[in-house]
Structure 1
Amino acid sequence: MCVSDGRIVAVEAYDADGLDGAQDLGDTALLPGLVDTHVHVNEPGRTEWEGFSSATRAAAAGGVTTIVDMPLNSLPPTVSVAALAQKRAAATGQCHVDVGFWGGAIPGNAADLPALYDAGVFGFKAFLVDSGVPEFPPLDPSGLRTAIGAVDALFVVHAEDPDEIVPAAASRRYADFVDSRPAKAETGAVAAVVEAAKETGARLHVLHVSAAPALAATMGVANVTVETCPHYLTLTAEEVPDGATEFKCCPPIRGADNREALWQGLATGAIDCVVSDHSPCTPELKRGDTGDFAAAWGGIASLQIGLPVVWTQATARGFTLTDVVRWMAQRPAEIVGLTRKGRIAAGYDADLVAFDPDAAFVVDAGRLRHRHPVTPYHGRALLGKVQRTWLRGTVVDGVAPLGRLLVRGSS
């Protein structure tokens, strides 16, 4: 492979002559940098939860070279051009990987969406259920159609039906939390998203599917894409100990049979991509003191270890690194329109990862680079280590912030 001015200019045979300055990685795999389109950085406003510096260092350490930041839980949320300007100002000079931004669709801001789209966001995030923060309220199905009608853009939707969710009572039992957010809450809401896509012709993307039965509604609908997350492909409800609130996320981790059905969804193409939904908070908000799942913040921090988490499970089921690259680099880039990311091919950015697929390690939360050492993967044995990450042909060292702020249509 030949690189010039940060771009791949040619991919040559391994033993090609005349390649000045060539590096031989031996048996280490060379992958395109991962593209994670579902990351909550939380800065500005909740930088004590996470921030651009810590989040992008963690991303680079995990082989992720591009992230797209969600419009919440920052303050203000990215629901106007002015809020986007604040977000970009906060990120400037801090990023160790490239960063793009989602806009947000909330009740009452449909008129703001065209200008926000013109300002360079990659599309719009909407919730059909309480988001967990008051400044980002949900849309009902009618409100979603109003937002869709305001701008020709990609809409990414947290699809759970609030009418099927039962307020969770205080409990240390994970099963009680799962019962409060049943699979039918997802299946009904995903069906509503699909119906909106069929009626409007808009591009809609279903976020973080955890309930495999919800996939039935999306099959064969060309303008609907689907993601899931490493935790849904790895963790199971049966293994969550009492009071282990680091496992809490919304929608919840479900049973082992459901996990296998999600893997089948990846195999058939019903699920397009795998992204982190990195959603950290302060340790206090995880309520480790009480272990109360109802009171704890729902979110899992895994930005740095998503690749080995997925690879560990994928290789055990007969999938290859080519499959993992498709799910975690190529398809996320394609879905959001990052035309120079996610592949090793001429014309693409030289965003690369040296990955040893056979190296084993045990996760130590204290060595992760996101802001707080809280993760359900602590102590878990994984397979595959990121050895080095390049951004546009330059090694990311975690000291010099090399990342650029991306604008839709320019990358």
Structure 2
Amino acid sequence: MELGSTVTAVRSQRVLIGDHVCPAVVLIKDGRINQILTEISSSADAGCEVLDVGDSVVMPGIVDSHVHVNEPGRTSWEGFWTATRAAAAGGVTTIVDMPLNSVPPTTTLDNFHEKLREATGKCFVDMAFWGGVIPNNQLELRPMIQAGVAGFKCFLIHSGVEEFPHVTDSDLHTAMKQLQGTGRVLLFHAELDVEQTIEETDDPCQYSTFLQSRPDIMEIEAIRTVTELCLQYQVRCHIVHLSSAKCLKLIQAARQAGAPLTVETTHHYLTLCAENIPAGATQFKCCPPIRGSENQEQLWSALKAGQIDMVVSDHSPCTPDLKKLDSGDFTQAWGGISSLQFGLPLFWSSARQRGFQLCDVTRLLSHRTAQLCSLDSQKGSLSPGYDADLVIWDPEREFEVQEAGIHHKNKTTPYLGTTLHGVVCATILRGRLVYKEGSFCPEPLGKHLLIPQMETQTQL
């Protein structure tokens, strides 16, 4: 079957339907799942050409709700063309673009429209968009909601870029009042500056020096602020990239008290640990930092217990020079990890060893992420009426992450040379074959996903 062609039926011995894997044929009509036949023999009645993928697993496409595409303005870091091709190669059928590090950031209605124009005709998968909350942009929030942003992100600490300043308590109260009744979610980079002592003699090339500069207490105090706001205003709040398991009790207590609060962690916190980061290996730097192995196991336990809702990439690329690989100085390097293309095998390689099942992969990487950005009526589930977004992959097959196979614009990643379980064979977007065995559809078929306003919300 040619790339870009319309797929009308997919047959496999392993189709994930709900929590069960069984032989089935997925029938597709007008870009949506029309019917799922669980009796393989009945596929003869489908009356259409069937794409038979043998015993490859067929699952809903991954929805990655935390991706920095960086276009317009910093396209040397990444761009829509390269990011969405990498997504397609990783079985990711929907990404949600963060409001920074593009220039301009998505903090005004005009800037959002500029973002949409730049993205047009460049996306190989579907795209939704987060807006940003910064000081004094509160009057832009509701117009951006009307225009279709999925929600908003803010920083409680310096963001790393000057054009996206962090918010104060006053800014947060103002933003919360704007968001009440809209159904939109506010995402928090949850770190707060706290007093800490780092010796000037500490070696900046040692990872431990950087780790000590971003202790758990920074996340704990930030999340304390978020939980209080969430309870006070009853606006949906979400903690992005949780790294410290020490915050989980605070989050659980707030939820039990009625806070509409969700939390994500990332592939790097679940895969990498501080003890194994070599001196000068600045490709491992991110904020919050990768912590120790004991903390990592607590994150996995929290995932299993349902205390962490979802797993995302936080794909945050930059040009190689910004990683300061020559000097190996963790204090000066850009903090961000590229992993958009490898989220599915990264997660599965570790999760399979801890008793997670294929249904957990879809729940944590597709369904819950779609819920976060109000796309769960069309994305993230293998059910009739949903978009026919499918990833076809082999969970048993191994591969080594090599530079030649990376489709991100910049190839710097801590995963180079790592052997992972789970090879993506093909990706189907709304019934069209967009990726297969290393090759892409010749034209980008991705759409902009603009989130409609809630019918029950106050008229804006």
**Alignment TM-score, normalising by the size of structure 2:** 0.87
Give, in angstroms, the shift of residue 382 of structure 1. 0.5
Of 346, 350, 353, 1:316 maps to 353
Q: For 1:302 and 1:273, how far apart are their aligned partners in 2? A: 16
Q: For 2:442 and 2:427, how far apart are their aligned partners in 1? A: 13
Change in CA separation of 1:165 and 1:9 when aligned onto 2, cut-off 3 Å: farther
1:349 is matched with 387
Amino acid of the structure 2 residue aligned with 1:180? S
Of 80, 83, 106, 1:52 maps to 80
Of 152, 155, 177, 1:127 maps to 155
1:7 is matched with 32
Q: For 2:395 and 2:299, how far apart are their aligned partners in 1? A: 23
2:139 is matched with 111
1:12-411 correspondence to structure 2 within 5 Å = 12-15=37-40, 16-17=42-43, 18-19=45-46, 20-152=48-180, 153-164=184-195, 171-219=204-252, 221=255, 222-338=259-375, 339-396=377-434, 397-409=440-452
For residues 252-278 of structure 1, give each alpha carbon's deviation from its aligned partner in whole angstroms, at most 9, with x where no partner exists.
000000000000110111100000000
Q: For 1:43 and 1:395, how far apart are their aligned partners in 2? A: 25
For residues 18-66 of structure 1, give each alpha carbon's deviation from its aligned partner in whole angstroms, at most 9, with x where no partner exists.
0232222211100100000100000000000000000000000000000
Where 1:217 maps in the other structure, the secondary structure is helix
Amino acid of the structure 2 residue aligned with 1:51? G
Amino acid of the structure 1 residue aligned with 2:246? P
Give, in angstroms, the shift of residue 171 of structure 1. 0.6
Is the CA contact 1:173–1:293 (under 8 Å) kept in the aligned structure 2? yes
Give, in angstroms, the shift of residue 116 of structure 1. 1.1
Across the aligned residues of Structure 1 and Structure 2, the Cα RMSD in angstroms comes to 1.5
Is the CA contact 1:228–1:274 (under 8 Å) kept in the aligned structure 2? yes
* Pair member with larger Rg: 2
Give, in angstroms, the shift of residue 98 of structure 1. 0.4
For residues 171-227 of structure 1, give each alpha carbon's deviation from its aligned partner in whole angstroms, at most 9, with x where no partner exists.
100000000000111111112101110011110000000001111111161500000
Q: For 2:313 and 2:198, how far apart are their aligned partners in 1? A: 26
Q: For 1:248 and 1:37, how far apart are their aligned partners in 2? A: 21
Percent of aligned pairs sharing the same letter: 49
Give, in angstroms, the shift of residue 163 of structure 1. 2.3
Where 2:191 maps in the other structure, the secondary structure is coil
Where 1:304 maps in the other structure, the secondary structure is helix
Q: For 1:166 and 1:141, how far apart are their aligned partners in 2? A: 25
2:21 is matched with none
Amino acid of the structure 1 residue aligned with 2:32? R
For residues 319-377 of structure 1, give each alpha carbon's deviation from its aligned partner in whole angstroms, at most 9, with x where no partner exists.
11110110000000012110200010011000001010000111113320000110000
Q: For 1:315 and 1:398, how far apart are their aligned partners in 2? A: 31
Amino acid of the structure 2 residue aligned with 1:192? T
2:4 is matched with none
Is the CA contact 2:31–2:388 (under 8 Å) kept in the aligned structure 1? yes
Is the CA contact 1:365–1:375 (under 8 Å) kept in the aligned structure 2? no
2:18 is matched with none
Amino acid of the structure 2 residue aligned with 1:194? T
For residues 281-309 of structure 1, give each alpha carbon's deviation from its aligned partner in whole angstroms, at most 9, with x where no partner exists.
00000011100001100000000001000
Is the CA contact 1:246–1:374 (under 8 Å) kept in the aligned structure 2? yes
Is the CA contact 1:177–1:293 (under 8 Å) kept in the aligned structure 2? yes
Q: Which runs of 4+ in 1 moved over 2 A?
A: 163-170
Q: For 2:171 and 2:195, how far apart are their aligned partners in 1? A: 19
Change in CA separation of 1:278 and 1:217 when aligned onto 2, cut-off 3 Å: same
Where 1:219 maps in the other structure, the secondary structure is helix
Is the CA contact 2:61–2:93 (under 8 Å) kept in the aligned structure 1? yes
Is the CA contact 2:236–2:261 (under 8 Å) kept in the aligned structure 1? yes
Is the CA contact 1:68–1:99 (under 8 Å) kept in the aligned structure 2? yes
Where 1:67 maps in the other structure, the secondary structure is strand
Q: Which has the higher strand share?
A: 2
Q: For 2:118 and 2:149, how far apart are their aligned partners in 1? A: 16
Change in CA separation of 1:398 and 1:239 when aligned onto 2, cut-off 3 Å: farther
Q: For 1:41 and 1:288, how far apart are their aligned partners in 2? A: 22
Is the CA contact 1:164–1:181 (under 8 Å) kept in the aligned structure 2? no
Is the CA contact 2:198–2:212 (under 8 Å) kept in the aligned structure 1? no
Q: For 1:301 and 1:237, how far apart are their aligned partners in 2? A: 18
Where 2:422 maps in the other structure, the secondary structure is strand
Is the CA contact 1:226–1:272 (under 8 Å) kept in the aligned structure 2? yes
Unaligned 5+ segments in structure 1 are none
Task: Name which of structure 1's ranges 190-199 and 48-57 shifts more when overlaid on structure 2.
Answer: 190-199
Q: For 1:361 and 1:157, how far apart are their aligned partners in 2? A: 35
**Alignment TM-score, normalising by the size of structure 1:** 0.97
Q: For 1:158 and 1:334, how far apart are their aligned partners in 2? A: 19
Unaligned 5+ segments in structure 2 are 1-25, 435-439, 454-460
Q: For 2:331 and 2:251, how far apart are their aligned partners in 1? A: 30
Amino acid of the structure 2 residue aligned with 1:405? H
Change in CA separation of 1:299 and 1:165 when aligned onto 2, cut-off 3 Å: farther
Amino acid of the structure 2 residue aligned with 1:213? K
Where 2:128 maps in the other structure, the secondary structure is strand
Amino acid of the structure 2 residue aligned with 1:161? L
